[in-house]
Chain A
Amino acid sequence: MTAAPADTVPAPVPADGAAPTGPEPAGPEAALIRDMVRIRCVEEELCDRYRDDQEMRTPTHFSIGQEATAVGVAAATGPDDLVYTGHRSHAPYLAMGGDLRAMVAELYGRESGCARGRGGSIHLVDRSAGFAGSAAILGEMISVAVGAGWSAALRGRPQVALTFFGDGATEEGVFHEAVNFAQVHRVPVVFLCENNLYSISSPLGQRQPAGSTITDRVTAYGLWARSVDGNDVYAVRAAARAAVQRCRTGAGPAFLELHTYRWREHVGPGWDHDHGYRSREEIDAWMARCPIRRAVEVARPTQPGLDDWVREWERRYRAEVRDAVRVARAAAWPPVSTLVDGAYGAGR
């Protein structure tokens, strides 16, 4: 673990600045930026606490630098849709509107956690927000999402299932089984591959054939598939809307390859640019394509006072997550007397 490359960490907007004077931007584009800022603040704050306090005893996979995928996709979902993810779960959970306090309490292993302290970072769930579950084994939730979407279609419900996974998961057999099944049965499921180029520290080129792409392979199954700039939240939203719309109209599954990049190490709060598996230049280039900064630059001309509001949101959400941490740390542990409760359903 190393210190942050402070000279290269781009702030979304200049750090100094006045409090906003105008009304809070209310449009959908501003909401995308606001949601990304919130996730960034939550995750950065949790990174610091994770590292410094050593109280969150759960492996955390942060999405810092990848906020546009979660926020862009969530903006395309309806209230009945269901999202499943792999291990990098915090950002989709928050983007879908998952309860922040319950998430933080879960990371701290408290009874008030979203999974009552039984699941941890990789088993987040908030069904009321449509965040239906996350799991750690690569590719595992892909088939589950197919089952959820399929069950909705069988009952004639206009419900779409969406599933986030990394480029590494597409190497697992279950991904291909699931895509094949979904296409055969026209399942309303959106496959969302967050291609961040690394599986832990193994680069993509070492794991998948040169001259091929994930999108090409999925296209060969007959799916509607698109390769998208995953650091452009507007492009992600547009592609996700098209994908969800296809599902909603019974046209079958859709696949999006969202090209993005994680700034921190695979698991944990640290920076790992000095471990040799990826170059400093590569990281710097991707940090220069910070999804928040890019979205702000696009929106700035039509959103007066936006930069002031971004600063205000940072203040607001850093305070919010600090408060969530305070509440979590003060919350009760699960009683040890309940250790085995909930392993089985009611009745035999």
Chain B
Amino acid sequence: MRELTYWQAISEATVQCMAEDPTVLVLGEGVDDHKGTFGTTKTAFERYGAARVVDVPNSENACAGIAIGAAANGMRPLVVHTRADFMFLAMDALVNLAAKWRYMYGDQGGAPVVTRGVVGRGWGQGATHSQSPHATFGHYAGLYVATPASPADAKGLLVQALRGDTPVVLIENRNLYPMTGPVPEEPEPVPFGVGRIARAGDDVTVVAASLMVAEALRAADQLATRGVGVEVVDVRSIRPLDERIICESVARTGRLVVADTSWARYGFAAEVAAVVAETVPEALRAPVRRVTLPDCPAPVSWPLEEAFHPGADEIVEACLALVGDRRGELPRLTSAAAGFHGPY
């Protein structure tokens, strides 16, 4: 199969969905500019123009509501936030309306608005340009929240979102954008709530989302040299969550590390740990380990930022601790995001 980058996969999904469904619209601040949201909206704008790829005023709150009104009236709006942090300005519309619309109006049709939020980690993005709000949105019933980790899923989950009847939040870590992988040429949907085994292994299960899947795969490569078999579970979506694939893996390995790009408290890592504790408590041969952000906002200064974001190295440490081993002569790993260059 031909390979695409993650951003190319998003772009292709957008263009193909717009071709097959004339109601699909792209809305966002600067979606029509020369950068085209890291390239993801550029081809769509070139092909469909300003009538369907719409640069909107700076109005995250209203635009979320406008997208909901359009969705409830038969359109398929895809709202794009170049920095996911701005989605907090859209919280009222997304949480109070989009998530609840179908239920509170008695299941007479929903407002299936699709929202992409890009996490801007790296290059000193700082406290309000680095955070990944997937767990925030994952808390609310009525929304689907996906964290595609591969180019194929970046395409397939977006296709499914634009065809489905439920509002969706897609959180994309921009450090995934240059990564390549096989991507089907056709717009094949990837369902929500169906995780994938990104790598098989028998000793430790690492459940990961988004960029942490890539980090976990690098950690697994290194641990394999030590004879430690790491199974990497890519959940793909955090709501709905594929509890079965998580619990079956942990039931086999007996050890669980959860790796996330956000904080531990009340987050994705806490949720996965709770699911395992509720479902297969007898399977755990060691306490659950969480590899997450320290309890502070993201700093800017380079060494602080490097220390703030966990990566493959921290996953290696957590896995070794669970199998009762020590790092020894294993070299330390840099994070998958380490090659990122500015200017911003």
Listed in ascending order, the chain A residues whose CB lies under 8 Å from chain B are: 82, 84, 113-119, 123, 125, 127, 132-133, 135, 137, 140-152, 154-155, 161, 173-174, 177-178, 180-181, 184-185, 340-348
Contact = CB atoms under 8 A, between A and B. Distances in A.
Given A135-B96, A144-B68, A342 B103 contact: yes
A345 B104 contact: no
Closest 4 CB pairs of A and B: A345-B165, A147-B69, A143-B65, A342-B107
A11 B57 CA distance: 49
B104 A144 contact: no
A114 B108 CA distance: 10
A145 B68 CA distance: 9
A146 B106 contact: no
A341 B102 CA distance: 10
A144 B106 contact: no
Given A118-B103, A118-B106, A343 B64 contact: no
B315 to A, nearest CB: 29
A266 to B, nearest CB: 20
Interface in B68-102: 68-75, 77, 92-93, 96-97, 101-102
B106 A115 contact: yes
Contacts of B65: 140-144, 146-147, 174, 178
A123 B105 contact: yes
B64 to A, nearest CB: 7
Contact of A133 (B62, B72, B165): B72
B56 interface: yes
Given A116-B107, A147-B69, A148-B69, A348 B191 contact: yes
21 contacts: A84-B69, A115-B104, A118-B103, A125-B105, A135-B96, A137-B92, A140-B93, A142-B65, A143-B69, A144-B69, A147-B67, A147-B68, A147-B71, A180-B59, A181-B56, A185-B54, A344-B144, A345-B166, A347-B191, A348-B192, A348-B240
B160 interface: yes
Interface string B21-34: 00101000000000
Contacts of B66: 143-144, 146-147, 150, 178, 181
B61 A173 contact: yes
Interface of B: 23, 25, 51, 54, 56-57, 59, 61-75, 77, 92-93, 96-97, 101-110, 112, 141-142, 144, 160, 163-166, 191-194, 240
Given A181-B57, A348-B164, A133 B105 contact: yes
Given A147-B70, A345-B166, A177 B102 contact: no
B97 A140 contact: yes
Nearest to A102: B106
B73 A143 contact: no
Nearest to A116: B106
Contacts of A145: 69
A119 B163 CA distance: 26
A294 B89 CA distance: 44
Which of B57, B71, B105, B165: most chain A CB closer than 10 A? B105
B103 A154 contact: no
Given A146-B66, A147-B77, A181-B57, 16 more contacts: A115-B104, A118-B104, A125-B108, A127-B109, A137-B96, A140-B65, A141-B65, A143-B63, A147-B69, A147-B72, A148-B72, A148-B73, A150-B69, A174-B65, A181-B56, A347-B191
Nearest to B109: A127
Contacts of B68: 143-144, 147
A203 B30 CA distance: 40
Contact of A123 (B59, B104, B163): B104
A314 to B, nearest CB: 31
B61 to A, nearest CB: 5
Nearest to B71: A147
Contacts of B142: 343-344
Contacts of A114: 106
A185 B25 CA distance: 14
Contacts of A117: 106
A140 B97 CA distance: 8
Given A147-B66, A343-B141, A344-B142, A115 B105 contact: yes
Contacts of B57: 177, 180-181, 184
A223 to B, nearest CB: 15
